[in-house]
Amino acid sequence: MYTIDIEKRCGCVKKDENLVLPQSFDDRSEAELAALKLVNHMNANYCKKHRFYVTEEGETVTIRVELSCPQEI
């Protein structure tokens, strides 16, 4: 069984009523695909203060959160 969860729940994650974590999958590729879709959604639709990315360890797929660095113009 493969599990997707999130490392830290920032305000945007807490406000997203459609986001249900942890999620479990029987197949590794299904878990990876679902995690990548979630991360793409989060990076595109949340406040941009954080960047989300996926890491894997054993049967756990974790969505990690880091602060986004503002780019100089």
As a dihedral over the C-alpha atoms of residue 70, residue 61, residue 25, residue 6, rounded to 10 degrees, the angle is: -50
Indicate whether 72 belongs to any domain. Answer: no
What tens digit of pLDDT does each residue of 18-52 get? 999 999 999 999 999 999 999 999 999 998 899 99
Indicate whether 38 belongs to any domain. Answer: yes
Indicate whether 52 belongs to any domain. Answer: yes
Q: Which two tokens stand for residue 29?
A: 């590729």
Indicate whether 40 belongs to any domain. Answer: yes
Indicate whether 54 belongs to any domain. Answer: yes
Structural domains counted in the chain: 1
Q: Which domain holds residue 15?
A: 2-67
pTM for this model (two decimals): 0.85
Look at residue 70 and tell me whether its pLDDT is greater than 70. Answer: no
